[in-house]
Amino acid sequence: MMDDLSQMKEENASKLVLHGIPSMPFYAIISEIAGFKKGHRQFEVKVEEEEADILLENLLKQKCDIIFARQFTSKLPQNVETITIDRDRWVVVLPSTHYLADRNSISLEELSDEKFLQLSEQTQLMQPF
**Residue 6 is part of a domain; what is its CATH number?**
3.40.190.10
Report if residue 85 sits inside a domain.
Answer: no
84-90, long-range: CB within 8 Å, 24+ apart, which pairs?
85/1, 85/27, 85/28, 85/29, 85/32, 86/27, 86/28, 86/29
Report if residue 81 sits inside a domain.
Answer: no
Report if residue 116 sits inside a domain.
Answer: no
Which residue range is the domain that position 61 belongs to? 2-68
Report if residue 64 sits inside a domain.
Answer: yes
Sheet strands (E) in 14-116? 15-20, 44-49, 66-68
In this model, does residue 110 exceed pLDDT 70? yes
Query: DSSP 3-state assignment of 118?
Result: coil
Counted domains in the chain = 1
Average pLDDT over residues 12-20: 84
Banded model confidence at residue 129, pLDDT cuts 50, 70, 90? very low
In this model, does residue 128 exceed pLDDT 50? no
Report if residue 119 sits inside a domain.
Answer: no
Report if residue 48 sits inside a domain.
Answer: yes
Report if residue 111 sits inside a domain.
Answer: no
Report if residue 127 sits inside a domain.
Answer: no
In this model, does residue 60 exceed pLDDT 90? yes
